[in-house]
Structure 1
Amino acid sequence: MQYPLSPDVQPEFCTTGSFMRLPSSREQARLAVVGMPFDTAASFRVGARFAPQAIRQMSSLLFPYHPVHRVYPFDDTHAIDIGDIPVIPHNIHRSYQIMQASVLDLMKKGIVPIGLGGDHSVTLASLRAAAQVYGPVALIQFDSHTDTWDSYYQEKYWHGSPFIRAHEEGLLKSDKVFQLGIRGTLNHPGDLEASLELGYHVITTLELRRRGVPDVVRQVRETIGDTPCFLSFDIDFVDPAFAPGTGTPEVGGFTSHETLEIVRSLVGLNYIGFDVVEVLPPYDPVQTTSLLAATLVHEFASLVALKAKTAGETASGSAK
């Protein structure tokens, strides 16, 4: 049977519980959806532990073909859904070890993981795994917050610190880190300067709108080049009018349409992993946030499929 199943095979509401009804294993898999339901590093609202299943549920509305990139993202990559990693809700460090091991296993096999968070602390586990396989990597972070705060209530590991911890651990190429869409009130001016001091490129919502998407995307692509790149998407990048189900919403963000346009433009990079985090189903009454998150997973998969397709066409042309 061909995967992913589309609604003309069986109704959307008839599901296996996996993302777009993907199988859990498959020969030549190059892409894997993986649930990372850890949320007890959040500072305000919790509930993102329920996001992986909510995102999977809404993925049943999606069709297999991407009409802009002209790929079948999940079929072209032989994608799988390996289910949820069995995290430990009250122990972030053991949860990190478990998540890192699962992601590392995928990356060693050449499989690109797409993590379904979980709060943003889970990204540190993926970056640790990525550094074991690829060395320090580039990062594209969609977010309204920099998440480079050193500590909170004297705790150094929480959803506001993964990217300062990643810097300290040498997991990132600092000059190839882009934090896009930063906005909102701050404790003090130094909140943004903390990221700049790490060598990160901080592009606020105001700057992104002022410069325009094509100019910013050009900078991102030219700076990162072919460096292995991880893309982390905090759903609060999107304005809460379009994505209300999140833990720390910030007004003044991007629409869902603008968001998809930006992600679609980031083609041609050497992606080795993705995640979408901070979706809170309890605050998502009509499931628009989960649907957007599922659509972003479709977009991420399409970027991987398009890169593989382009590489294949180039190789075919060279052979001629």
Structure 2
Amino acid sequence: MSDYLDMLEGLSLDTFAGTPRPGWSGPDTLFGAPLAPLGATGDARYIVAGVPFDGTASSRPGAAEGPRAIRRASLVFSSYLDSLGEHEMHDTRTGEVFRYARSSVVDCGDLHVFPSDPLRTFQAVATEVRAMVRGGASTTMPILLGGDHSIGFATFAGVMSALRERGTDQRLGLIQIDHHFDFGAHSAIHGPIYHGSNARRISELPGMERRQMAFLGAANVTRKAQFDGLIADGAHIVTAREFRRRGVTEALAPVIDTMAKSCSAIYLSIDIDCLDASVAPGTGHVSIGGLTAGELMDIVAGLLVLPIAGMEIVEVAPRYDPTGRTAQIAAQVLFEALFRATL
């Protein structure tokens, strides 16, 4: 043991302070970000919160476990900026040259949910999301981890309320990347507010127009009258098939152009079931014919030219994916959105 103890000579905490940790270590916060209470997040660029609620699941419950799974999966990225540094990078999948840039992130833990009371959950979530936006700087962006997609109504309403308090010219638009339109009017099981009605409820908020809404990646069957009605009312729709046929850049261009003109800010809602079930099995709804992970990455990257005021990723249900890849994809989508800077 004497030789071993000799190895400790001259060593201190400073010796290891700057060394990256392995991807499975660290606190269960998004990308290992420091914890901060609501209302005390300072001037952080991104404020993260989980919404572990799946009280309106109709097919397979489990999305309440999503926030913890995404946070745990994100730890593999927590040391990227330390290990890779802020150098020029070359993406061999897309050919893009970029660099990862540091940005301040804090994690507020989970918002209040009431598993047997959806309405009280939505009241709490909207109130606390509004506080997240109010308490930050003008450039602060909330990042929400779901939860079933019903929470999207409350998160959007919270962001909208906070933005409108800042000025009268706040036209918040919704871009939803999803296998479905979530435009149901009423569920025989859940009533008017559930995971399949969030977009319709958003469209009914004061001041919202359907031309301020875009639905990307749809690949499920839907009522023809509903589809035709969305088109007639000015909503923008790009199906998964259209992305595949035209390519992401070309198919996305008119959406970016029109949403930039009609909205002063965008709320981006990503339902992980936009991905084909062979890609992301860990979700409540088995999706056939959905996007690939690369297509989702390209769509999100393309949308970042817009003034994004908030972002959520929902419907990760890790119990159906023993490989962990669904949560890993969700974490990587967020990492690239938050830290990749195009040159």
In structure 2, distance between residues paired with 1:59 and 1:291: 7
Equivalent residue number for residue 268 of structure 2: 231
SS, match of residue 14 in structure 1: coil
SS, match of residue 261 in structure 1: helix
Contact 1:146 1:195 in 2 (8 A): no
SS, match of residue 179 in structure 1: strand
Structure ID, larger Rg: 2
Q: Which amino acid aligns with 2:212?
A: K
SS, match of residue 295 in structure 2: helix
Q: Aligned match of 1:147 in 153, 171, 182?
A: 182
In structure 2, distance between residues paired with 1:177 and 1:47: 28
CA distance 1:57–1:137, change in 2 (3 Å)? same
TM-score using structure 1 length: 0.86
SS, match of residue 60 in structure 1: helix
Equivalent residue number for residue 53 of structure 1: 68
User: How far off its partner does 1:124 sit?
Assistant: 0.7
Q: For each residue in 1:234-262, what CA deviation from the matched residue of structure 2 results, as whole angstroms up to 9, or x when unmatched? A: 00111111100111121111211222122
Larger deviation: 217-226 or 273-282? 217-226
Q: For each residue in 1:217-248, what CA deviation from the matched residue of structure 2 results, as whole angstroms up to 9, or x when unmatched? A: 21122112262001000001111111001111
Report how many aligned residue pairs link the two structures.
Answer: 297
Q: Which amino acid aligns with 1:11?
A: P
> What percentage of aligned pairs have identical amino acids?
31
Equivalent residue number for residue 18 of structure 1: 29
Q: Which amino acid aligns with 1:233?
A: I
CA distance 1:195–1:45, change in 2 (3 Å)? farther
User: How far off its partner does 1:172 sit?
Assistant: 3.5
In structure 1, distance between residues paired with 2:294 and 2:21: 29
User: How far off its partner does 1:90 sit?
Assistant: 0.7
User: How far off its partner does 1:69 sit?
Assistant: 4.1
Equivalent residue number for residue 6 of structure 2: none
Q: Aligned match of 1:80 in 106, 114, 124?
A: 106
TM-score using structure 2 length: 0.81
List alignment gaps of at least 5 residues for structure 1: 1-5, 311-320
Find out whether 1:246 has 2:301 as its counterpart: no
User: How far off its partner does 1:173 sit?
Assistant: 4.1
Equivalent residue number for residue 169 of structure 1: 205
SS, match of residue 175 in structure 1: helix
Equivalent residue number for residue 296 of structure 1: 333
Q: For each residue in 1:97-134, what CA deviation from the matched residue of structure 2 results, as whole angstroms up to 9, or x when unmatched? A: 11111111111123211110000011111111122123
Larger deviation: 201-210 or 292-301? 201-210
Contact 1:137 1:173 in 2 (8 A): no
In structure 1, distance between residues paired with 2:333 and 2:148: 17
In structure 2, distance between residues paired with 1:70 and 1:176: 32
In structure 1, distance between residues paired with 2:28 and 2:290: 31
The two structures, once aligned, show a CA RMSD in angstroms of 2.2
Q: Which amino acid aligns with 1:272?
A: A
Equivalent residue number for residue 278 of structure 1: 315
User: How far off its partner does 1:185 sit?
Assistant: 2.7
SS, match of residue 61 in structure 1: helix
CA distance 1:185–1:224, change in 2 (3 Å)? closer
